[in-house]
Structure 1
Amino acid sequence: MTTTQQDRYDHGYDFVVVANRLAVDRVTDEDGTTGWRRSPGGLVTALAPVMAESDGAWVGWHGAADEQLEPFDHADMHLVPVPLSGQEVEDYYEGFANATLWPLYHDVIARPEFHRHWFEAYRRVNRRFAEAAAAVAAEAATVWVQDYQLQLVPQMLRELRPDVTIGFFNHIPFPPPGLFSQLPWRHSVLRGVLGADLIGFQRESDARNFQQAVRHRLGHYIKSDRIHVPADSRATDEGSPLVGFDADPSRGTAARRLSAPTAEDGEHHIAEARAFPISIDTQKIVELAERPDIIARSQQIRRELGDPETVFLGVDRLDYTKGIRHRMKGYEELLQDGDLSVGQACLVQVASPSREGVESYRVLREEIEGTVGRINGEFDTLAHTAIRYLHHSYPVEEMVALYLAADVMLVTALRDGMNLVAKEYVAARKSGTGVLVLSEFTGAADQMRQALLINPHDVDELKAAMVTAATMDPAEARRRMRSLRRQVVSNNVQRWARDFLGRLADLKAAAR
């Protein structure tokens, strides 16, 4: 261990990221030995340079239940594994995070489940993450907490380490107050997030929803995205005799707190809540799209599909929020109506496996695969297939080849925080060809106004957009794509990280 590394172990790290998963994946070599590989996700890509500059630390679960690992270093990052038991994975992750919060935050497309023991596990695991971050952070460090799995961490961390500056980013939508109020532990979640100095959301509407929930449920004074959080409201309900329940903290105090705080109100903390739309590693996608072997692979894909005039492409996690069923229904009706025909058109649907331990996802997979079988059974010919369905995860090189092969990208999510697939498709289309059909219920729709924006619940509108995309004048398609690419190229994931951390640094400096 070098002197610098030993100093970090002794004195902590100036920049700490706290996320549900570590920034690495475990890999097994051909000889059976195991090691670690940096995760390919956009968050890791955006923050890796910051980690290298600051010798940062990343706190997260390493992906294996009932296993404890010591902290270790990998590629300029100090990694702090947080252990989870198999029961905690079931209750905290599959349960509260993905069967309670995920459906609730995605407009209750599926019914959320509310179980007290799930929330108790969520709180217990969040406490463990907060303690790990507190232990590794240097004095006056910057800590950035990521996403809905860890919404209680900011306040827990503030109680443990009031010297650190805390950011929180919510990668998924934040629901309207009427939906959020269904959550039995709504006050605990709001208080948890409000422990941060800066709270980031994908869309302005998400930030407004959060502010309205805070104003309505907690009664805090809000002006210009700045939420004044009184010290007496920041205590958690740890140890309460009503474990798992929330009392209403606003009773008797809301009227006072809805006005600007005064000296009589005593100490208060300011949390700023605003939008910071995330993006992609644009340069990486562009470089891959220019590689001769990937261009050749895209041409091979079209030949394997029978060289149709129009290749429609959908790329999603197999999730009920993605609108895959709506997309297939629209495509099926176009075939039935004769507006499209097999051979002239083909739909390629990549549906990567997702949360297969959650019952609603198993049901969705069976339904989607049944729909694909029925449509292909009715419309396939000996030479061509109607839908090429791929229930796999693919490396980014194959995904870029698919983007190049596709004439029309279908993003029909019913609710999505951002949807980075839409941005990846546009980044890959350097030639200026291709058309993006984009749900207005994605965060990407706020920025990508030159796409064909649709309401995916309106199947007739979806069908019309698919036909328009397939028959669009090439000059019009190039005009739209050039505009989309300018937006995506100038707003990459590195800029997102710089904008968020720059604002957090400004708040830190102002608080001195």
Structure 2
Amino acid sequence: MSRLVVVSNRVGPVKDAARAGGLAVALVDALRARGGLWYGWSGKTDKRAVDYASIEDAESLSLATVDLTPEEYEDYYNGFANRCLWPLFHYRIDLTAFDRRYYEGYRRVNAKFARVLYPLLRADDTIWVHDYHFLAFGNELRQMGAEQPIGFFLHIPFPAREVLAALPHHDAMVRGLFAYDVLGFQTEQDCERFRDYVVREAHGIANGDKLHCFGRTVTIRAFPIGIDTEGFADIAANDKDARRQFDKVTKGLGDRTQIVGVDRLDYTKGIAERFQAYERLLQEYPDTRREVSYLQIAAASRGEVLEYRQMREELDGLSGHINGTFGDFDWTPLRYLNKPLPRRALAGLYRASKIGLVTPLRDGMNLVAKEYVAAQDPEDPGVLILSRFAGASYQMPEAVIVNPYDSKGVADALQIARYMSLQERRERFEALMKRLRAEDVAQWRDDFMSTLATVTRRRTISAVS
């Protein structure tokens, strides 16, 4: 079996992969099985950073990391990746920084990553590249002469053709993606948007899941990412930290219904709209007052980016307004925390919450929705309210699907969830869990790797014949 090389912006963890979540577990398992190499940024900046990989052995696999200079970090990561690609791919053209300096820095850093990895590769390696940080990486490797199978998976949404066309050099970015053998997306809708761009903008040819353009053929397919469903369900039910969190929350709630939201602090997650919908619930359904409690955990991220600082100020204002308007000395309607919780504690928190509120404005998949369901008590499960604009909504139709921009609709859904019968909650839960078990993170990994192997084998046979 050939060695697997995983390329991602951040590397690891390996030893505590289970604590980091299902994705880390899935990648580490595959790397261990094949004696793999995990390669990416070290997370460090150094003005003296050179084109050199620091390699560390971790059990049966190796970790290879590269430092960036402060300028490279600013242009590649803060600049093009997070101030241009991230908002654009999430349909926030108004927040997109179209700065050519960022683009050139992104290309240089992708070339640097490729330049450092290339000497470490073996002829029979299989390379799996992850996410929007490395759109240009495969093309840089090919230009150096790499002939190994290279697959790419995009974890975030792929935008509509008209949105992507707003990006200067959009044609060069898409051309670079044709250096990969397989392009994986979260949903069929993402595949369709990519296909539409290639056919209508770049005048390529589509034939099923094959696209031919720029002199190359690439296979595109949807691989909806899952979670370690059984593992997370077991943590929620049996882990001591999860049970401790569950007992703590339920004791504090008493007879109140808890609504929970867990997100990274990001404008794509629709947290402000969620707060407004909760306020609408309290306004239009007076029986909810003192009977519900909403806990929103939003771990801070990218604090150096202006838009994120402004969003935090907005959420502070909204939460203060709601609590000032509706709160009482013994009831705080909305608790809003900017700190992360350990994954095991989150499992207990989900299980103690009768309603999971997951309403991003746009999301590639959203694994919180899946973890919330997996954490529930099968005998008395909670209700998931899910945005139609999350990739997870295509796999989870038994959730209560809402439009996050419609505060009245979300408020109504919250009220429906409060009074949903036990029988209906169980039926929805069982249908969701059946699919989550069948389409877990291991299945996602195996499907992608199997597809890449099949495409590579066909390419080899075609070249020989």
1:444 to 389, 392, 398: 392
Aligned to 1:92: 76
Aligned to 2:433: 485
Distance 1:41 1:85, change over 3 A: farther
Aligned to 1:186: 170
Q: Does 1:45 align with 2:25?
A: yes
Q: Does 1:215 align with 2:199?
A: yes
For residues 429-452 of structure 1, what are the alpha-carbon distances to aligned partners after superposition, in whole Å with 9 as ceiling and x for unaligned? 142510000001011000101000
**Does the CA contact (< 8 Å) of 2:21 and 2:343 recur in 1?**
no
For residues 137-158 of structure 1, what are the alpha-carbon distances to aligned partners after superposition, in whole Å with 9 as ceiling and x for unaligned? 2103211110001100111112
Aligned to 1:434: 382
Residues 250-265 of structure 1 aligned to structure 2 (within 5 Å): none
SS class of match (2:124): strand
Aligned to 1:419: 366
CA RMSD of aligned residues (A): 1.7
Write the distance in 2 (CA, Å) between the matches of 1:276 and 1:339: 43
**Does the CA contact (< 8 Å) of 2:294 and 2:335 recur in 1?**
yes
Write the distance in 2 (CA, Å) between the matches of 1:387 and 1:342: 11
SS class of match (1:290): helix
Distance 1:363 1:230, change over 3 A: closer
Q: Does 1:23 align with 2:3?
A: no
Look up the equivalent residue of 2:320 and give its one-letter code: G
Q: Which runs of 5+ in 1 are unaligned?
A: 1-12, 26-35, 232-268
Distance 1:226 1:292, change over 3 A: closer
Write the distance in 2 (CA, Å) between the matches of 1:230 and 1:369: 49
Look up the equivalent residue of 1:193 and give its one-letter code: L
How far off its partner does 1:230 sit?
A: 4.0
Matched residues, number: 452
Q: Does 1:205 align with 2:189?
A: yes
Look up the equivalent residue of 2:10 and give its one-letter code: R
Distance 1:470 1:141, change over 3 A: same
How far off its partner does 1:217 sit?
A: 2.8
**Does the CA contact (< 8 Å) of 1:16 and 1:142 recur in 2?**
yes
2:294 to 311, 322, 347: 347
**TM-score, scaled to structure 1:** 0.85
For residues 442-483 of structure 1, what are the alpha-carbon distances to aligned partners after superposition, in whole Å with 9 as ceiling and x for unaligned? 110001010000111111111110100011111111111111
Write the distance in 1 (CA, Å) between the matches of 2:111 and 2:303: 26
Aligned to 2:463: none
How far off its partner does 1:374 sit?
A: 1.3
Q: Does 1:106 align with 2:90?
A: yes
Write the distance in 2 (CA, Å) between the matches of 1:409 and 1:219: 44
**Does the CA contact (< 8 Å) of 2:118 and 2:146 recur in 1?**
no
Distance 1:359 1:75, change over 3 A: farther
Look up the equivalent residue of 2:179 and give its one-letter code: G
Aligned to 1:129: 113
Write the distance in 2 (CA, Å) between the matches of 1:352 and 1:154: 32
**Does the CA contact (< 8 Å) of 2:281 and 2:412 recur in 1?**
no
SS class of match (2:179): coil
Write the distance in 2 (CA, Å) between the matches of 1:486 and 1:207: 25
Distance 1:338 1:283, change over 3 A: closer
Write the distance in 2 (CA, Å) between the matches of 1:223 and 1:459: 42
Larger displacement relative to structure 2 (416-425 or 289-298): 289-298
For residues 217-265 of structure 1, what are the alpha-carbon distances to aligned partners after superposition, in whole Å with 9 as ceiling and x for unaligned? 322222112112344xxxxxxxxxxxxxxxxxxxxxxxxxxxxxxxxxx
Look up the equivalent residue of 2:251 and give its one-letter code: R
**Does the CA contact (< 8 Å) of 1:82 and 1:128 recur in 2?**
no
How far off its partner does 1:338 sit?
A: 3.5
Look up the equivalent residue of 2:44 and give its one-letter code: A
Distance 1:109 1:480, change over 3 A: farther
**Does the CA contact (< 8 Å) of 2:363 and 2:389 recur in 1?**
yes
Structure of greater Rg: 1
**Does the CA contact (< 8 Å) of 1:339 and 1:467 recur in 2?**
no
**Does the CA contact (< 8 Å) of 1:356 and 1:362 recur in 2?**
yes
**Does the CA contact (< 8 Å) of 1:411 and 1:437 recur in 2?**
yes
Q: Does 1:358 align with 2:338?
A: no
Distance 1:292 1:187, change over 3 A: closer
Write the distance in 2 (CA, Å) between the matches of 1:296 and 1:117: 50
Write the distance in 1 (CA, Å) between the matches of 2:64 and 2:363: 30
Identical pairs, percent: 38
**Does the CA contact (< 8 Å) of 1:57 and 1:136 recur in 2?**
no
Aligned to 2:250: 302
Write the distance in 2 (CA, Å) between the matches of 1:340 and 1:370: 25
Larger displacement relative to structure 2 (292-301 or 431-440): 292-301
How far off its partner does 1:85 sit?
A: 1.2
How far off its partner does 1:79 sit?
A: 1.1
Look up the equivalent residue of 1:128 and give its one-letter code: K
**Does the CA contact (< 8 Å) of 2:258 and 2:294 recur in 1?**
yes
How far off its partner does 1:77 sit?
A: 2.0
Distance 1:79 1:299, change over 3 A: same
Look up the equivalent residue of 2:393 and give its one-letter code: A
SS class of match (2:68): coil
Residues 271-350 of structure 1 aligned to structure 2 (within 5 Å): 271-291=218-238, 293=240, 294-304=242-252, 306-350=253-297
SS class of match (2:64): strand
Write the distance in 2 (CA, Å) between the matches of 1:313 and 1:186: 38
Aligned to 1:144: 128
Q: Which runs of 5+ in 2 are unaligned?
A: 461-465
